[in-house]
């Protein structure tokens, strides 16, 4: 029986993404993961607009739809993710801390557009102190006041078009020499999480890992790893 308040959320639309979503769904079944799933394959959730109109805003819409159905423990997984074993340790972190955020090693001075920082009244010097969290995999307990506030702010930021920017360096996003490129929803959620005192409580190669192959052979993974990020799917 599925866990009643946990929900895994994913959208895979266009290109290789539907195949990635199918792989995600099948590997979750293979490992016996019992959380509910809102996985949108080759379609957008009701109320979402295409990525070309508002970058990654569909993530916020999909999470809000899960929330509207009463799920309180939400875990977003990109279509590049597949499951290696049940996600018990990730759900435990969400239960204990109210969230699961993985530090990706960048800071917001490097990835946040001027539009995003200005909307929150944050200068780039302060942004340099804010760690960026990955949004290929993140979790929230929206049964808490803080968790719901983060989701609402994330959705509001998306609606304002503040995820938008160029994935390669573009001086119209910022001319600051520290700025590298936009990371869209990732930069936005990192800023929002920091404002609510949610410091990263995860790191790569613990529960989540980027898969690296050497000579066509997958490098051994730590036993703790639940989820693997493995690019596009042929």
Give the separation between CA 133 and CA 187, rounded to whole angstroms: 8
Q: What six digits make up the tokens of 32?
A: 């016996």
DSSP H/E element including 208: strand 208-210
Structure tokens at 82: 């597949």
CB within 8 A of 195, min separation 6: which ones? Answer: 120, 153
This prediction's pTM: 0.95
Give me the residues paired with residue 100 across strands. Answer: 139
Q: What does each C-alpha distance from 83 to 25, 41, 80, 131 come to in angstroms? A: 9, 17, 10, 26
Q: Are 158 and 58 in contact (CB under 8 A)?
A: no
pLDDT, tens digit only, all 234 positions of the chain: 456 899 999 999 999 999 999 999 999 999 999 999 999 999 999 999 999 999 999 999 999 999 999 999 999 999 999 999 999 999 999 999 999 999 999 999 999 999 999 999 999 999 999 999 999 999 999 999 999 999 999 999 999 999 999 999 999 999 999 999 999 999 999 999 999 999 999 999 999 999 877 667 778 889 999 999 998 787
Measured CA angle at 89 (ends 141, 217), to 5 deg? 125
């Amino acid at each position: 029986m599925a866990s009643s308040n946990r929900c895994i959320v994913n959208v895979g639309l266009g290109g290789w993404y539907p195949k990635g979503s199918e792989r995600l769904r099948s590997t979750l079944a293979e490992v016996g993961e019992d959380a509910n799933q809102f996985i949108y394959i080759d379609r957008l959730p009701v109320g979402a607009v295409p990525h070309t109109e508002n970058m990654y805003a569909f993530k916020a819409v999909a999470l809000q739809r899960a929330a509207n159905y009463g799920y309180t423990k939400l875990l977003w997984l990109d279509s590049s993710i597949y499951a290696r074993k049940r996600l018990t340790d990730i759900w435990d972190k969400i239960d204990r801390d109210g969230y699961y955020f993985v530090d990706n090693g960048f800071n917001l001075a490097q990835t946040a557009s001027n539009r995003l920082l200005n909307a929150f009244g944050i200068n780039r010097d302060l942004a340099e102190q804010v760690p960026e969290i990955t949004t290929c995999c993140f979790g929230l307990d929206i049964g808490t006041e803080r968790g719901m506030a983060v989701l609402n702010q994330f959705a509001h930021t998306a609606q304002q078009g503040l995820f938008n920017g160029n994935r390669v360096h573009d001086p119209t996003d910022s001319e600051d020499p520290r700025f590298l490129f936009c990371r869209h929803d990732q930069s936005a959620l990192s800023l929002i999480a920091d404002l609510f005192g949610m410091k990263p409580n995860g790191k790569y190669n613990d529960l989540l890992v980027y898969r690296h192959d050497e000579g066509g052979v997958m490098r051994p993974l730590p036993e703790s790893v639940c989820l693997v990020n493995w690019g596009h799917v042929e």
